A and B are shown apart, each in its own frame.
Chain A
Amino acid sequence: MTLPLVVWKSLRQHALSTTVTALSIALAGGLLMSVWVVKEQSQATFTGVNAGFDAVLGARGSKLQLVLNAIFHLEASPGNLAWSDYLDIKKNPNVDIALPIAVGDNYLGYRLVGTLPELFDKVEYAPGKHYAVVPGGNFFDPTRREAVVGSFVAQKLHLKPGDTFHPFHGLIFNEKDQHSETYVVVGVMEPSNTPADRVIWIPLAGIQKMSGHNPDAATDVSAVLVKLKAGGGGAGFRMDMMYNKQGNRLTFAWPIGQVMAELFNKIGWFDKILALVSYLVALVAAASILASIYNSMNERRREIAILRALGARRHTIFGAILLEAAAISALGMLVGFIFYAVIMNGAASVIRAQTGVVLDPFRFNPVMLWAPALLIGLGALAGIVPAMKAYRTDVAEHLVPMS
């Protein structure tokens, strides 16, 4: 019981510096775990989200822009492709589903995406999972001005079946660009935790024929989402060759996960900087442990001398200081998990609002084990210098008074 008691008493006697240094460790730990989990989960989620498709066919341009636009409903469309291009790929024997989408309008900043009812009938956005509407609602009738609202949009705009709205032109909300057409909300989608939650789905013809849109492009689509038949990897390669290498008019972004992985490779430096910042914060926090214990050594020396006079060995004193430094880190890491939850909730909310992708802060990640171990180890390491000072304390000199 000796060491834990000595450590506990010392932590209590230096409550203020214990609290401040533990909080700095908590911040470092929370930050490190958050950066790590956001990096890993977002990478896994963004490269794993494909909305149930293998590829995207679009106008000639960047594959990444095509995927971000068609799958994640971010970025502007790189351009349109003709209805015949859609029909061509739909007829390809290796294609299971070819689903055209059209974008170009919004409602209060949330994107309207025109598509066909097959999205709801055939597409599995994850294995075995179809899009569904909340009971009391329906999917749209492709011949009417009806809308199905993604769960996130419905929550933000308080839309429900029976509500009506006028779309606005463009992907960025501008109140001057209101279209005259009136759409009726017929359903609200169940949350799918995919980018589909962040858009308002309307019939494809609705976008194509919206007032003010170019009548010459009334049959064009923004992209075609493609699901290949099972075992269609070879077909994907051949189509990649056909559209991207041999052709020069269209872009075939395949496979979607690899396109997104390339994005993460490009922004890998950003993760590294964030991780570096976290490590630096951890180092500063460890240094603060060192400084706080070291600075208190003068007042502790009498106490150490008393303990030694009572029979405590040098290595007991050394161990007590190391344990105290580690305990400050451990206490900090307990609070660090609270910081982590707060930071992650904030980050997850922003990522969900911006992309529709949902991160789960409470899903286990190995960083939740190694980060606390690292910081507690670092804390103990920071305790070595003051522990050495304690180890060398001259007992007789500090057992005042001498005569």
Chain B
Amino acid sequence: MMLQNLQTTLSSGMLLLQVSQLKKSFRSPNGDLHTVVDVPAFALDEKVQVALSGESGSGKTTFLHLIAGILKPDSGLITLAGQEMSALSEPARDRLRATTIGYIFQTFNLLQGYTCLENVLLGMSFGPGVDRAFALSLLERVGLANKLKHYPRQLSTGQQQRVAVARALANRPKLVLADEPTGNLDHKNAREAIALIREACRENGAALLLVSHDRDVLAQFETVQGLEKINRSLLENAN
């Protein structure tokens, strides 16, 4: 019964992401095995936008890294765009990530030696291919048409965030993962950033899975799931 309650399905249309019996543990410095992610079920439809709420240490980033194929699960299945991730080799997972997923990090993770445009183009080069016109249109869309040759250090924090948004959408992904994307922004910029991310995803037909602990951010979403409800490891730790 408990398992049934924990299983979360945000599905009403075409299924994009399906997670089942997903587990990931890390060994703590004292040698104990510490389960960080234990998600019996999670699903996401194409083009939907969902926010996951969770405090620090709730396994948010690990969960997103697992979905992106950056981390390999100890067990369980992740099916993304019809492909079962655990069955794929690492290069194939890299390829799937490059073509299907856009990732927005809390610290933006822009490459400091690259201009705004180059950051976006580089993101494209690992995916289906470089489309300079689309890169330019994305940067124009996020309001940085006049900052193409600026380096990240020459931009404000909010502007850097917008470059990260453009880069995440560069390969026309089906899913955008956003990990505390407003963590480094003030209140006003955070609201604008979330609005921009949501609009941009909608315009590009990408689903959005955002994790945050910020109530203001979460309040902007129609669908918000508490991570403590889908990640069974949090319940076990609490008990």
A396 touches B65 (CB 8 A): yes
- The stretch among B5-13, B121-129, B201-209, B231-239 that forms the contact with chain A is B121-129
> Given A306, A313, A403, which contacts B61 in the complex, CB threshold below 8 Å?
A403
| Interface presence of B98 (CB below 8 A) | yes
Instruction: Determine how close the nearest CB of chain A comes to the CB of B94; give it in whole angstroms.
Output: 5
Interface centre among B57, B90, B111, B180 (most CB of A within 10 A): B111
Total A-B pairs, Cβ < 8 A: 87
| Interface presence of B229 (CB below 8 A) | no
B111-143 interface code vs A (CB 8 A; 1 in, 0 out): 111100010001101110010000000000000
Instruction: Please give, as numbers and ranges, the residues of chain A lying within 8 Å of B127 by CB-CB distance.
Output: 311
B58 touches A312 (CB 8 A): no
| Interface presence of B62 (CB below 8 A) | yes
A1-25 interface code vs B (CB 8 A; 1 in, 0 out): 1100110011011000000000000
| Interface presence of A401 (CB below 8 A) | yes
Q: Which of A368-403 contact B (CB under 8 A)?
A: 395-396, 399-403
| Interface presence of A230 (CB below 8 A) | no
Instruction: Please give, as numbers and ranges, the residues of chain A lying within 8 Å of B180 by CB-CB distance.
Output: 403
> Given B56, B57, B65, B126, which contacts A310 in the complex, CB threshold below 8 Å?
B126
> Given B57, B97, B105, which contacts A399 in the complex, CB threshold below 8 Å?
B105
Instruction: Determine how close the nearest CB of chain A comes to the CB of B64; give it in whole angstroms.
Output: 10
| Interface presence of B42 (CB below 8 A) | no
Contact residues on B (Cβ < 8 Å of other chain), bracket:
35 or more
Instruction: Please give, as numbers and ranges, the residues of chain B lying within 8 Å of A13 by CB-CB distance.
Output: 112-113
B70 touches A399 (CB 8 A): yes
Instruction: Please give, as numbers and ranges, the residues of chain B lying within 8 Å of A313 by CB-CB distance.
Output: 90-91, 94-95, 126
Instruction: Determine how close the nearest CB of chain A comes to the CB of B151; give it in whole angstroms.
Output: 11
How many angstroms from the CA of A308 to the CA of B126 in the assembled complex?
9
B40-72 interface code vs A (CB 8 A; 1 in, 0 out): 000000000000001011111110010010110
How many angstroms from the CA of A5 to the CA of B180 in the assembled complex?
30
Known interface pairs A13-B113, A399-B109, A403-B57. Does A1 touch B99 (Cβ–Cβ under 8 Å)? Answer: no
| Interface presence of A87 (CB below 8 A) | no
| Interface presence of A44 (CB below 8 A) | no
A311 touches B98 (CB 8 A): yes
How many angstroms from the CA of A108 to the CA of B57 in the assembled complex?
89
Number of A interface residues at 8 Å Cβ cutoff, please give it: 28
> Given B58, B61, B112, B125, which contacts A2 in the complex, CB threshold below 8 Å?
B125
Q: What residue in chain B is nearest A2 (Cβ atoms)?
A: B125
Instruction: Determine how close the nearest CB of chain B comes to the CB of A305; give it in whole angstroms.
Output: 8
| Interface presence of B157 (CB below 8 A) | no
Instruction: Determine how close the nearest CB of chain B comes to the CB of A321; give it in whole angstroms.
Output: 15
Instruction: Please give, as numbers and ranges, the residues of chain A lying within 8 Å of B61 by CB-CB distance.
Output: 401-403
> Given B59, B94, B99, B167, which contacts A308 in the complex, CB threshold below 8 Å?
B94
| Interface presence of B106 (CB below 8 A) | yes
| Interface presence of A314 (CB below 8 A) | yes
Q: Which of B86-104 contact A (CB under 8 A)?
A: 90-91, 94-95, 97-99, 103
Q: What residue in chain A is nearest B60 (Cβ atoms)?
A: A403
| Interface presence of A276 (CB below 8 A) | no
Q: What residue in chain A is nearest B183 (Cβ atoms)?
A: A401
A305-333 interface code vs B (CB 8 A; 1 in, 0 out): 01111111111100000000000000000
| Interface presence of A141 (CB below 8 A) | no
A309 touches B109 (CB 8 A): yes
| Interface presence of B225 (CB below 8 A) | no
Instruction: Please give, as numbers and ranges, the residues of chain B lying within 8 Å of A2 by CB-CB distance.
Output: 122, 125-126
| Interface presence of A303 (CB below 8 A) | yes
B122 touches A309 (CB 8 A): no
Instruction: Determine how close the nearest CB of chain B comes to the CB of A389; give it in whole angstroms.
Output: 17
How many angstroms from the CA of A400 to the CA of B61 in the assembled complex?
10
Known interface pairs A309-B68, A311-B94, A312-B94. Does A401 touch B107 (Cβ–Cβ under 8 Å)? Answer: yes
Instruction: Determine how close the nearest CB of chain A comes to the CB of B20; give it in whole angstroms.
Output: 21
Instruction: Please give, as numbers and ranges, the residues of chain B lying within 8 Å of A395 by CB-CB distance.
Output: 70
Instruction: Determine how close the nearest CB of chain A comes to the CB of B100; give it in whole angstroms.
Output: 10
> Given B56, B62, B112, B126, which contacts A311 in the complex, CB threshold below 8 Å?
B126
How many angstroms from the CA of A5 to the CA of B62 in the assembled complex?
31
Instruction: Please give, as numbers and ranges, the residues of chain B lying within 8 Å of A311 by CB-CB distance.
Output: 94-95, 97-99, 123, 126-127, 171
How many angstroms from the CA of A5 to the CA of B113 in the assembled complex?
11
How many angstroms from the CA of A402 to the CA of B106 in the assembled complex?
10
Instruction: Please give, as numbers and ranges, the residues of chain A lying within 8 Å of B97 by CB-CB distance.
Output: 309, 311
Instruction: Please give, as numbers and ranges, the residues of chain B lying within 8 Å of A303 by CB-CB distance.
Output: 111-113
> Given A1, A306, A308, A316, which contacts B111 in the complex, CB threshold below 8 Å?
A306
A9 touches B107 (CB 8 A): no
Instruction: Determine how close the nearest CB of chain A comes to the CB of B28; give it in whole angstroms.
Output: 14
Instruction: Determine how close the nearest CB of chain A comes to the CB of B91; give it in whole angstroms.
Output: 5
Instruction: Please give, as numbers and ranges, the residues of chain A lying within 8 Å of B123 by CB-CB distance.
Output: 310-311
Interface centre among B94, B103, B114, B127 (most CB of A within 10 A): B94
What are 15 A-B pairs with beta-carbon distances under 8 A? A1-B125, A9-B114, A303-B113, A308-B94, A309-B70, A310-B98, A311-B97, A311-B126, A311-B127, A312-B126, A313-B95, A314-B94, A402-B61, A403-B57, A403-B59
Closest 4 A/B residue pairs (Cβ): A311-B98, A311-B126, A2-B125, A13-B113
Apart from A310-B103, A310-B167, A395-B70: 12 A-B pairs, beta carbons within 8 A: A5-B118, A5-B122, A306-B110, A309-B105, A312-B94, A312-B126, A314-B91, A314-B94, A315-B91, A399-B109, A401-B106, A403-B61
